[in-house]
Structure 1
C-alpha cells in the first residue's frame, strides 16, 4: 500500500532537480545508477537519486529517497539518506550491485562510501524502489515479492510512523539529518521536539504548526556585522554539521572567540579539550543538525548582534537600574504606599483562592477513591514523559510506559491540556474504573491532579492490544484458536460484568479491538472508559446528542438517533467477534462483487452455508469447527438491526460456552458496502487513535476513525 509523503519523518533540503531518470524502478547486477539519473517508483510516488543539502553546495552529494511530487516548490521531502555521514565529493557517485550480490555506493577512485552486506550470496539480486518509499533488496525470482533481503524502512511502534534505517543506525528522531532545519535545536525530551535558537523564529510558521520543522529558523533581526557583537551560549549540545567549518587545534577559548569576531561570516564557535591543549572550531554559514543531549555534550557559542548579545546586557542593565532609581526617587512615598496596599489586597485574594482550591481538591480525592501519585514521581517514572517512553496517542492525550522506584511497570495516560472535553472524560474514567474490579477489565492504580496536569496510572499490558495480532498475517499466527476463543469469552465476561454484575450498570460505547489489551498470560482486559456512561436504578437505555465511538462498531440506533443501551455494546461485540474470526477490519473490508462490508459478507456466507470460508487462514490448522461455527452464529445474532432482537451479554456468555441450539438470526444492520467512488467522502469529523497501555503497533489503527461529536437526526 502506498504511504503518503507526509507520513514520513523526513528532512527538507534544497536539491538540484534532475532532467533524466530511469523509466524502471529497480537495478540489477548488470545495471548501475550514476549521479544525474534517478529511479522512480512504479506509480511515480518516490524517487531515488543523488542530491546536495543546499543549492549552493554542489560538492557534497548524498544518495537519498524523496517524494517525487512534493507540494513544496523550493524543497523536496527527503525520507531516507544512505551516506548521511559520508558525503561524496562532486558528481562521481555510482550505485551498483557487485558480483557478490552486495549493494555498494562508490565515489571517485571506486572508494566505497556506503554498502549493504548480506550474510549469504543470492543468485539474482534486485534493488527496487517501492511506491511506499521503501528501498528493498530481494531475490528477483522469489515468487513472494514481500520477501526482502534488506529494506530501508521499518515501522516504528512507538511513533506510529515509518522511519529510515540509516547506515548510522540513528537511535531517535533527532538523529535524522537536519530534523529541525537551520538554527533549529532538536530536543527529544521536549513534547515539541524542535525549537528555534534565541533571536530566531520559524522560517515557515505554518509548517511548524504541523510539526514540519525542516525549513528551520531565521533571525528575527537581520544580522549586521559590527563592533560589540556577542554570543549566546548553549551548553550540553551535539555540535552542528561541520561541512562549512574551520578547525584550529591550538587555540584557547578566548582566542577562538576573537577569531570568530574577526570574520563577519562566522556564525558560531566551540572549543574542545584535546590531548595536550584545546581545539577551536568555527562555523561559517547556517547551523544544521543541532541537538540537545541528555548527558555530556559540548558548549556552543552562537553569534548574536550587539543589540541582543550577552556583551550588551550589562550596559542595558545599568541604564534600567538608573531609570528605576530615578522613578523611585520622584514617586517616593506615593509609590511605596500604593505597593503596600496592592500587596495586601493580593495576599487576601490568594488566601481566599487557596482555601477554595483546598476544598475542591479534597472533595475530588474523596470522590475518586484511588491512590494519588505526585507529579515528580510520574516524571521520574516516565523519564520526563520522553518520546522513547511513549506507547501511543489517545483521543484525549498520550500514553507513556513508566517504572516506579519499586520496579513496578505502569502505563501513564496524560490528558492533553488543549483538549476541551478531556477533563470530563478524565473524571468519568477515574470514577468508573475506581469502582470496577474484574479480571477482564484493565486495572486503574491511581491518578494525579496537579496544576494543569491530569494523569491516570494503569497496570502495564506487555502484550499490546488485540488489533496488533488479528489484523496482521505474521502476528496472527502467534494467536491460534486455543488463545482466541478464551479471549472472546473473556471479553464477553467483561461486558457482562459492566452490564449486570458490577455495582453500576455501565455502557462502554467504544468497544473495539484496539481497546482490548492483553496481559502477560494473554488474558483480555477491556480498557478506555472515557466515553462510558452509567445507568442508575432500572434504567436500561438513554439518548444523547453527543454521539461518541468508532465507525464500524456503532449500533445503527446509536449512530443515527443517539439511542444507546446495553444492546449497543452487544452490537459492538458482534462486530469485534467477526473481526477476531476473520482477521479483517470492519472498516477496511469491502466485497466488491456483492457490494458488502464485513457484516454483509458474513451474513451472505452464512445464508449460503459457507461460513467457514470467512475464517482467518492462519486459524485453519488450529480451530475447533464446532466452536468457530457457534461463534459466527452468535456474532450474527449480536449485529441484528433491532436492539430487541439482539441477545444480552448474559445470554451471549451462555451461548458461547454451551452446546444447545441457537435461534436463527435476522438480517443484520449496516451490511451494505460502499461504492469505491464514494469512499473518499465518508469520514468522521475527527480522526483519533485509541489509547493503549501496552506497546502499540500504530498500523493497527490506520483504518479506525473515532467520532467525537455528531448531531443525530
Structure 2
C-alpha cells in the first residue's frame, strides 16, 4: 500500500517537472499574442504581434553581432527575419526585459528593465486607441471605434525599407540606411523624392549632397527605373506625381521591398516562397560615373568594384588615395582623402598620375609646353594639379571624380601637387620637377602676358559710361574682399565657363525663375553639388547694389539658418551669384496651397518658426556684422532636404550700428504686408523692423493664411486685423490652420499667436527683441504681456504689393520684388 502511494507521488512529481520544463520553453520562445494591443495592455520581449492575415510580425530582435535589443517589423514568412522597420533605431535597449506599452498620454513607449523609457509613437492624448500591425507592414495607432481614423503610422517614419503602398513624399519620408548590419541607427545616406522641371525623380543623398538620381517620371509605370523592363516579369509598378510616389508589386501577392543599404545602394528584392530566400532583382549600380563616389582626392576604379558586400571599417576596394594622402574616414568612402602633409606653396612638387580621367572643372590656359604649364600652376598657391593634355589645364582646390582605368576620352597624365617631403627622391627620368628659381624666364613671360591682358582690358572699358564705371568699381571691391579672405574659406570666385557648364549654357530647362535682379538657374557642379545661380540682367536697375550687398553681407555670415552664398562670378559684363541649392523650394510653396500645406505637420512648423528666429538672432546679435534683413517673408525662407529653414535674399539688408537704435533711409525696399509701419511710412528701420516681419510670418505659419491679398476675414482687411479682431473676442483658436486640428498642442499654437501679436504692435518700442521672442515661444512658463494694436489696421494690404506673379519660388531661391521705392 505504502509502495503504491510512494509510486503515485513520484509519478506526480515527474509530471509536474515535465510541465514546468515545457512551460519554461514556451515562455522563452517568441509568443504571438494578437495583432493589436489596447491602452491597458502591453507586449514583453519574447512576445509578438502578428497581422490579421499573418503576413507581418512586430516584436523584439537583436541585429547581427549586436548585444542590444530593438523593436521591429519583419515578414512572417521570412526565416531570417529581415527587419523592414525599427521603432527605436537610435535608442537601443540594453537588456532583454523590454516592454512595449502605452503611457498616460496615449503615447506608445518602450521601456527597459531599469525603467528607462522613450516614445516610439505618439497618440496626441487620444484615449480611444489601439496599436496594430497591418497586413501591409504598417504599424499604426488608430481609434478603436473607427479603425480608419489612424492617429500615427510607421509608414510616415520609415527606416531603410520602402514597402508597397508606402508613400514617399516630397520634403519628408526619407529612407536612411542602417549604419551597419549590426547597428540600425541612421547612416550618412538618405533616399527620397525630388522634383526637377516639374517631373519627379528618386534621389539618393550623401550628407545632403545629391549622390544618385533616377530617370524622370513621365507617367509610365517604369519610367523611373527603365532597367526593370528588361526583366522577364516586371517586378513592380510605380505611381507618382510631384508630391508623392508609391509602388505596387507584380504579382500583387509577392513580398517585395526596396531597401537602401549602408553603402548607399538602392536594392529591389522579392521573396521566393520556394527557396525561402530574397532574390535581388535590381541594384542602383556602384559606378565611378556616379558623381564624387570616392570623395575629394579619392581615385575610383570601375575594375575594382566590390560584390556589394558592406565592408565594415574598410575603405571599399574601388577607391584609393594618391601618394601623400590618407582616407579621411575608413568607414565612409565618400569622405575621400586628406593630405598627410600640408602644402607649403613655394617648394612644393608634383607627382605624375598617368592614365587618369581628368576632372572637368579645369581652367584652360593658352600657355604652351610642359615647363610653362607647370610654372603657371607652381606660382599659384591655390593650384593643386595641372595637365598638358590638349593644352595646359589647371585645377584649383579639392579634386573630385578622379578615375583610373577609364576607356573614354579625356584620359592623360595628371600632375598632382604635394609637399616636397612626400617624395622619397627626385626621379632622374620621367617628368621634371622644377624649382621656382629654375623657371624665372618662363614666369617673367607669363607675368608680362597677364599685365598686357589687364592693360588691354582696361583700355577697352574706358569711356563706357557711368554704369560700367560702377561695375568696375564693384568688381575691384569684390576682388579685394575675396583676396582679404574676410568672406571665409567657403567663398569662391567661379569662372564664367564653369557656371556655363553647370547650367548647360543657361538653358531654358535650367531656368528656375526671374525677378528684378535677373534670371535664376539651377546648375550642377562637376563634383555633383547642386547650385542656384542668379545672373544680373543687362537692363537691371536694381541688381548692381544688391549684388555688392549680397557679397559683402552673406559671404561673411555663417549660420545653419542662413542660405549659403558659395561665391560669385565677375567676368566682362557678366555678374553672377552662386548659392547652395534648396531642393524643397521656399516656405510659401507649401504654406499657401491647401494640399501642400497639409504636408507641413506641427513638428515641421515649429522647426521653421524656431529656425527663422535663431537666424534673426544671429543677424541682430551674434554675427560679426549687425544686420537688418528688411525683406523677411515666406518666399525668402528656403527649405533644405530635411525641411530646415534658411533665410535668403540679403540684397536689401543693412548693416547697423549696435550702439544705435534706429536708422533712416530714403530708399524704402521690401514687400508691403511684411513691412513695419514706421519703415513703410517714414523710412525708419531698426531690428524691430525685422521683428514686425517675423510676427507676420509667424501668424501665417500658424494659420496657413496670407496677410496680404486675401479678403473675407471677419470685418478686417488683412490677416493682422482678423487676428486682432479674434484676440479681442477671445476666439484666437479659430486662427489655427484646420489641417493642424488634433495634431498640435493648442496651448502652444495659441502662445505663438500671442507672440506674433506682440511682434506686430504699431510702436517699435513695444515690440520684443528676437531673443525675447524665441524665449516666449519655447518657454511655456513665461508670462506674456497683452499686445497692443497692430500697425496697418486702417490700411488695405493689396496683393499687388507682394509677389503675386510668383506665389512661390520656383527656383528654391527667392527673387525680391521691390515696392515703394
Q: TM-score, normalised by structure 1?
A: 0.47
Name which structure has the greater RCO, CA cutoff 8 Å, separation 6+: 1
